Amino acid sequence: MENRQTIARSKSTLLTYTRQGVEALLYSSVFISACAFCLTIETYLLTGTEVSIPMAIFVFLATLFTYNLSSVYQVLRRSTKKRERQSLPWSLRNREALALLGITSLVGAVVLYFVYGLRVDFWFVLLLALISVGYTVPLLYQQKRAKPLRSVPLLKVFLIAIVWSAVTVLFPLVDAGVEVWQQSVLLLWLRRMLFILALALLFDIRDYTYDRNTRTLTFPGLIGEGYTRLLSLLLLLFYLLLAITMERDGVLVSLVSSAVVAGLVVWNASENKPRIYYALLADGAMLVHFAFVYLATS
């Protein structure tokens, strides 16, 4: 009897630590930053360009900083209302640690940029950094506090798609000395943007009630949840059409397969799905995308 109780306690402890580990991986934004890292590597694979690990790590760290910027902002402003700690979401319970993680990531990205002499134009990096900061943090203009860019009607998903596609496609190719204005690169950028945009719409579905309460107009608020899913699927269809015209053989099969996986995630998305569905599956569709391409090009 005692052995059974010991085993049960051990299982319970293991499950607790496993849950805590998954939460830390997902809600610290390490997971989504790993997705950015993998999509950067994928760009090298798709273009036959030599892989630069320092650039991929730079993208990882920059993404980690950006997604933890809200925690940095909250810690600096001490803006969270006092509540029972256990009643707070994971990110607020651990906001000090996330703020430290964000600042450390920024320092690491800056060091990498200069130590390895990454050849991405500084002003291009700064522009995307300002967009990313403005997405989360209200900016001041002529002593007036403006709303963050994510509050601008219908703009949120486009900002995400533009920044992600620029960082994971243009950054590595510019650093590699590839002429980015050639048609094949621009189409790859467009293709990546369509894929990210299709996934970004899912987070509008997830946040529908919150956005409605804050009077932020998003696509679900404009056309409804069902039509937003259809719009996301339509974007994936356009993505597939571009892939068919650009790729062949195993790579094409991998891109079609990853689009099908993303389509299944989109089809089953709803506001009532738990947040982990979006954190794990919607973001995870990017990892699946990379994995299929990696297998096709190995």
We report the CATH number of the domain holding residue 112 as: 1.10.600
Mean pLDDT, the chain, rounded, equals 85
pLDDT bin (cut points 50, 70, 90) of residue 260 is very high
More confident call, 31 vs 86: 31
pLDDT band at 256 (very low <50, low <70, confident <90, very high): very high
Q: 30-47 and 53-67 helices cross at what angle (nearest 10)? A: 150
- Angle at CA 61, nearest 5°, toward 101 and 34? 100
- Comparing 154 with 148, the larger pLDDT belongs to 154
- Res. 112: pLDDT tops 50: yes
3-state SS, residue 140? strand
Enclosing domain of residue 237: 2-297
pLDDT surpasses 80 at 107: yes
- Among 105, 126, 127, 109, CA closest to 118: 109
Across-strand partners of 141? 144
pLDDT digits (tens, 9 = 90+) for 208-230: 887 888 788 889 988 999 999 99
Q: How sure is the predictor about 44, in pLDDT bands with cuts at 50, 70 and 90? A: very high
What the block records as the tokens of 132 is: 């990313």
Amino acid 215: pLDDT: 81
Q: What is the pLDDT of residue 127?
A: 84
Higher pLDDT pick, 295 / 136: 295
Handedness of CA 115, 118, 124, 127 (dihedral sign): negative
As a whole number of angstroms, the distance between CA 131 and CA 113 comes to 19
- State the total domains in the chain: 1
Q: How far is CA 234 from CA 71, 239, 266, 271, in A?
A: 35, 9, 11, 20
Cα 114 to Cα 262: distance, rounded to the nearest angstrom? 36
Q: What is the pTM of this model?
A: 0.88
